[in-house]
Amino acid sequence: MALIHSFETEGNFLFRYRGQIPILLFIVAVPVIYFTDYLHQALYYQNCLLVIAVILSFLGFLIRAYTIGTTPRGTSGRNTNEQVAEQLNFSGIYSILRHPLYLGNYLMWIGIVLFTYNISFVIIVTLAYWLYYERIMFAEERFLERKFGHQYLDWSMKVPAFIPSFKRYVRSSIPFSFKSVLRREYSGVLATVLGFCFVDVFRTYFLYGQWRMNAILLIMVCVSAVMALLLRSLKHYSSLLQEQGRS
């Protein structure tokens, strides 16, 4: 099989199972936390990494929220079985990079990884993420190229895949929808908060032999869980969050 076909086949396979990455990440994080020497790390060093970790995850959420909030139906979906696209979006965040949701995902999860205070783990996860999603992005772009032809190719030749080029920014032609963000992003926020709690609980256990959670994180988990349950109920059992022309 030619490499171009092999990459596309692998990308489509990985695309279907990309939702399982957080589970794998949690499993791998346990031994990393266990073997990290926290006792010889300065407190100010850990505090700096904590601040950076929270900022990165929050920035990732903002990128995802802006992307979701300014895209119409038929783009930026949560489909897992196959590639789906009804139309192209060239404005807003898609005018500065081609895969904003994957950039947002990376930042949200690398913030959790950084919270382990293990820089080697951050580097390894970054490289693994790139290898994994490079195949997925390749498969997606092959699909879009076949479906939209030169319209897609002309845009992709000008806009970078993953690193934003702000000089190319074009204001979104779609008004920002806060409802879309509430309808689609509550699970991601909850998963991110749970990720930080996961690291904190295991680190506390390995250091002190006690299963306990930081009070602030506990409050954040409770608030996130309640909000997620409420928004999920509104999404499935009411029309309050529904919008015409939005995914």
Per-10-residue mean pLDDT of the chain, 247 residues long, equals: 73 78 88 95 95 98 94 62 68 92 95 97 95 89 87 90 89 89 93 96 95 92 96 92 77
What pLDDT was estimated at residue 49?
A: 97
Residue 158 falls inside a structural domain: yes
pLDDT at 79: 54
The predicted pLDDT at position 193 comes to 96
At 185 the pLDDT is 94
The answer as to whether 230 is a domain residue is no
Whole-number Å distance between alpha carbons of 111 and 114: 5
The three-class DSSP label of residue 92 is: strand
* pTM beyond cutoff 0.75: yes
Tell me how far apart the alpha carbons of residues 159 and 66 are, in angstroms, rounded to a whole number. Answer: 18
Domain that holds residue 56: 3-175
Residues with Cβ < 8 Å from 243, sequence gap 6 or more? 177, 179, 180
The confidence score (pLDDT) of residue 83 equals 59
Residue 237: inside a domain, yes or no? no
Instruction: Say if 196 falls within a structural domain.
Output: no
Task: Write down the pLDDT at residue 63.
Answer: 96
Looking at residue 107, its pLDDT comes to 97
Evaluate whether residue 127 is within a structural domain. Answer: yes
Residue 189 falls within a domain, yes or no?
A: no
Residue 65 lies in a domain: yes
Query: Looking at the 3D structure of the chain, how many domains does it have?
Result: 1
Domain CATH code at residue 122: 1.20.120.1630
